[in-house]
Amino acid sequence: MKILYIFIFVFSFFLEAKDFKVASYNVENLFDLKYDGTEYKEYKPNTKTWNKNSFSKKIENIAQVINDLNADIIALQEIESKEALNTLVKKAPQYKYHTFLKKETSSVGVALLSIYPIKNSTKIDVDSNDKYSRYILKATVLIEDKKLIIFVNHWRSKRAAESKRIIYAMGLKKEIDSLDKNEDYIILGDLNSNYNEFQTFKYDKNLNDSFGITGINQILNTTDRENFIHIDHMLNFNKKVHYNLWLDLNDKKFSTIFKGEYNTPDNIILSQGLFDQKGISYVQNSFNVFKTHYLIEKNKIRRWNNFKNNGYSDHLPIYAIFSTNKQNYILQNQPSKINTIEHLYNVQTVTSYPLDNIIVIYKSKKMAVIKRKNDRAIMIFNPPSNLQLGFGYNIVVNSIDLYNGLKEIKKISDIQKLNSIENYSNYYIDANTINLFDIKNQNNIIKNLTGVYQKGYLYFKKGTKEEKIKLYFYKELQRPKDGEKITITSGHLSIYKSKIQIVLYSKKDFIKHVQEI
In a domain, 3, yes or no: no
Pick the last residue of a domain from 426, 441, 475: 426
* Total domain count, the chain: 3
pLDDT at position 397 is 96
Pick the last residue of a domain from 404, 426, 448: 426
pLDDT at position 245 is 98
**Dist. CA 360–CA 383, nearest whole Å:** 11
In a domain, 389, yes or no: yes
CATH of the domain at 416: 2.40.50
**Dist. CA 343–CA 329, nearest whole Å:** 22
Q: Does one domain contain both 486 and 378?
A: no
What's the whole-number mean pLDDT along residues 108-126?
97
In a domain, 294, yes or no: yes
Between 476 and 318, the more confident residue is 318
The answer to whether 493 and 502 are in contact (CB under 8 A) is yes
How many CB atoms within 10 Å of residue 403?
A: 16
Q: Does one domain contain both 440 and 387?
A: no
Residues 6+ positions from 220 with CB-CB distance below 8 Å: 169, 172, 173, 187, 242, 269
How many CB atoms within 10 Å of residue 435?
A: 11
**Dist. CA 154–CA 151, nearest whole Å:** 10
Under the banding of pLDDT at 50, 70 and 90, the label for residue 338 is low
The per-residue pLDDT for range 20-68, each reduced to its tens digit, is 999 999 999 999 999 999 999 999 999 999 999 999 999 999 999 999 9
**Dist. CA 250–CA 68, nearest whole Å:** 25
Helices (H), 252-371: 341-344
pLDDT at 300 over 50: yes
**Dist. CA 512–CA 517, nearest whole Å:** 15
Under the banding of pLDDT at 50, 70 and 90, the label for residue 10 is very low
Q: Could you list the residue range(s) of the whole structural domain that residue 362 is in?
A: 341-426
The per-residue pLDDT for range 123-134, each reduced to its tens digit, is 999 998 888 899
In a domain, 333, yes or no: no
DSSP bridge partners of 354: 396
Percent of the chain with pLDDT over 70: 95
pLDDT at position 219 is 98
CATH of the domain at 502: 2.40.50.140
Under the banding of pLDDT at 50, 70 and 90, the label for residue 11 is very low
What's the whole-number mean pLDDT along residues 205-209?
94
**Dist. CA 181–CA 177, nearest whole Å:** 8
The per-residue pLDDT for range 340-373, each reduced to its tens digit, is 999 999 888 888 999 999 999 999 989 999 999 9
Between 494 and 226, the more confident residue is 494
The per-residue pLDDT for range 415-432, each reduced to its tens digit, is 999 999 999 999 999 999
What's the whole-number mean pLDDT along residues 487-509?
93
3-state secondary structure 231-265: HHHHHHCCCCCCEEHHHHCCCCCCCEEECCEEECC
Pick the last residue of a domain from 323, 353, 368: 323
The per-residue pLDDT for range 224-242, each reduced to its tens digit, is 988 899 998 899 999 999 9
In a domain, 206, yes or no: yes
pLDDT at 289 over 90: yes
**Dist. CA 295–CA 301, nearest whole Å:** 6
pLDDT at 273 over 60: yes
In a domain, 382, yes or no: yes
The answer to whether 252 and 261 are in contact (CB under 8 A) is no
pLDDT at 14 over 80: no
The answer to whether 315 and 28 are in contact (CB under 8 A) is yes
The answer to whether 236 and 162 are in contact (CB under 8 A) is no
What's the whole-number mean pLDDT along residues 405-423?
95
